[in-house]
Amino acid sequence: MIGIQQEVIEQFKSQVRGQVLLPPDPGFDTARTIWNAMIDRKPGVIVRCAGVADVMRAVDFARERGLLLSVRGAGHNIAGNAVCDDGLMIDLSLMKSVRINPETSRAYVEPGATLADFDHEAQAFGLATPLGINSTTGVAGLTLGGGFGWLTRKHGMTVDNLLSADVVTADGKRLHASAQENPDLFWAIRGGGGNFGIVTLFEFQLHPVGPEVLGGLIVFPFAQAKPLLVKYRELADQIPEELNVWVVLRKAPPLPFLPTEIHGKEVMVVPFLYAGEIEAGRRAIEPLRNFAQPHGEHIGPMPYAAWQKTFDPLLTPGARNYWKSHNFTELSDGAIDTMIEYASKLPSPQCEIFIGLVSGLANRVPKEATAYTHRDAKFVLNVHSRWDQPDQDKACIGWAREFFAATTPYATGGVYVNFMTQEEGERIPAAYGPNYERLVQLKSKYDPTNLFRMNQNIKPSA
């Protein structure tokens, strides 16, 4: 780190219970490597925090020396904001405790925990809360951006289930944020990203789920995608909230229940989860199974924690990723036609078009209740471009941008902040809509110098 004497670093190390890593140190390159292989940044120093005291000291150290500061939870963020060049990176991945109180249905979760860590502990008691779809995702980043998953139609967004949080703010102090204490800060962190501080403990409401649920995949012919997507949008208004059904347009992976001649060909994958009684779930999915003759299906009771890992093989770390995203209140014919057009010219076997059904309880919460404001978003589209080699960058990024532009006329203009790349700073007001000005005011209160700016940044008014 340029400009800081070795004795200052040594003194800092003596004050930290975790690890302080410099570029020559063993483990430095591993610590700076995150999920998206497009991100290759080199901090001047990495602080691998072991607890809240380490976080407070690291924030003070960065602030007092005017260092660029980034914060890593599980390192899964698409934009790569967990890592900075030349500054100080706070690595929270060692802080991954998950404690469950089954009597009160509460979970207490540190910021380095992944979805797999959370589900492992909560499912021991048949409990869960709405989280994402890839078990290596970090609980912290997902929550701070709003968070949605298979349980969202029944139990709301992740932030709708956040009861309180401990936050280290830009002055290096720890605050407790809840509906009763520092309620403005509590409002802001429920969707406002990492703009307002570093959360060192989350308290979640849990719900009875599993441990066995009905889940599965149905893979339909791509040639029938148009009538199937029309049926899908109609079905979305009819199914019970215990059932969530998503759509993925992609090339078929070599799944054992699919004919080999389908592998690598365009298909329409329909994954679903029923978070309720198994036999009721079988009845609820019958209309879905009758959409058309599928290439194949894999349906049955399974542990909820296992279902949460279903898509992990398609989202392993080390690939290059570029995303674009839209919110939709409805899937119009024009939007469907455009999705089919671009799904027919995927630039790599790993690229896909993902349509997540949100709706349900998430749509019934007032838009001003949390910083996450998109309560009208019934469907979330993620243009997920993914590939392995740098020489594919132009084709894969170009495809995603072109598809995004083509679907813009059919979308709401809003966007889920966790799906935004780093280049999309101009979309930040759209990510927060009518809540944006209040967020600017709270940023000015809690982080007036914009210390926490390696994020989808809400700039303070000053």
Supply 171's token pair.
Answer: 């002055």
The pLDDT score that the predictor gives to residue 425 is 87
Specify whether 144 is located in the same domain as 219: no
Q: 454 lies in a domain?
A: no
Specify whether 174 is located in the same domain as 310: no
Closest CA to 267 of 278, 279, 255: 255
Q: 205 lies in a domain?
A: yes
* CATH classification at residue 38: 3.30.43.10
* CATH classification at residue 139: 3.30.465.10
Q: 134 lies in a domain?
A: yes
Specify whether 165 is located in the same domain as 224: no
Is the confidence at residue 462, as pLDDT, over 90? no
- What is d(CA 427, CA 437) in angstroms, rounded to the nearest whole number? 14
Q: 453 lies in a domain?
A: no
Specify whether 77 is located in the same domain as 112: no
What lies within 8 Å, CB to CB, of 432 at 6+ separation is: 191, 192, 371, 373, 417, 439, 458
Specify whether 276 is located in the same domain as 310: yes
Give the sign of the dihedral formed by CA 432, CA 433, CA 438, CA 440: positive
| pLDDT level of residue 1 (50, 70, 90 thresholds) | low
Specify whether 205 is located in the same domain as 129: yes
- Taking the model in full, what pTM does it have? 0.96
Specify whether 51 is located in the same domain as 130: no
Q: How many domains does the chain have?
A: 3
Average pLDDT over residues 80-92: 97
Q: 451 lies in a domain?
A: no
Quickly count: other Cβ atoms within 10 Å of residue 38's Cβ.
Answer: 18
SS3 of residue 126 by DSSP = coil
Bridge-based pairing of strands 69-72 and 45-48 is unpaired
- What is d(CA 238, CA 348) in angstroms, rounded to the nearest whole number? 35
What lies within 8 Å, CB to CB, of 151 at 6+ separation is: 128, 129, 130, 131, 207, 209, 244, 273, 275
Average pLDDT over residues 197-215: 97
216 sits in which H/E element: strand 212-221
Specify whether 269 is located in the same domain as 414: yes
Average pLDDT over residues 359-386: 97
In order of 260, 339, 379, 423, the CA distances from 415 in angstroms are 37, 17, 11, 14
Helix axes 225-235, 333-343, angle to 10 degrees: 130
pLDDT in tens, 20-68: 999 999 999 999 999 999 999 999 999 999 999 999 999 999 999 999 9
Q: 367 lies in a domain?
A: yes
Average pLDDT over residues 271-289: 96
The pLDDT score that the predictor gives to residue 2 is 62
Specify whether 376 is located in the same domain as 298: yes
The pLDDT score that the predictor gives to residue 236 is 95
- What is d(CA 56, CA 60) in angstroms, rounded to the nearest whole number? 6
Residue 326's identity, in one-letter code, is H
Bridge-based pairing of strands 162-168 and 174-178 is antiparallel
Instruction: Specify the range with the lowest mean pLDDT, choosing from 99-108, 312-321, 333-342.
Output: 312-321
The pLDDT score that the predictor gives to residue 269 is 98
Q: 460 lies in a domain?
A: no
Torsion of CA 415, 356, 247, 290, to 10 degrees: -140
How many percent of the chain have pLDDT more than 70?
100
Supply 7's token pair.
Answer: 């004795």
| pLDDT level of residue 422 (50, 70, 90 thresholds) | confident
Boundary of a domain, candidates 91, 108, 124: 91
- The partner residues of 88 in beta bridges, in order of sequence, read 45, 69
pLDDT in tens, 165-175: 999 999 999 99
- What is d(CA 254, CA 362) in angstroms, rounded to the nearest whole number? 34
Supply 408's token pair.
Answer: 């813009």
Bridge-based pairing of strands 45-48 and 88-91 is parallel
What value does the CA radius of gyration of the chain take, rounded to a whole number of Å?
22
Residue 235's identity, in one-letter code, is L
Is the confidence at residue 345, as pLDDT, over 90? yes
pLDDT in tens, 315-338: 899 999 999 999 999 999 999 999
| pLDDT level of residue 235 (50, 70, 90 thresholds) | very high
The pLDDT score that the predictor gives to residue 46 is 98
- What is d(CA 126, CA 134) in angstroms, rounded to the nearest whole number? 19
Specify whether 186 is located in the same domain as 322: no
Specify whether 183 is located in the same domain as 238: no
Backbone angles phi, psi at 366, to 5 degrees: -60, 145
Specify whether 228 is located in the same domain as 205: no
The whole domain housing 411 covers 212-419
| pLDDT level of residue 360 (50, 70, 90 thresholds) | very high
- What is d(CA 114, CA 135) in angstroms, rounded to the nearest whole number? 7
Q: 176 lies in a domain?
A: yes
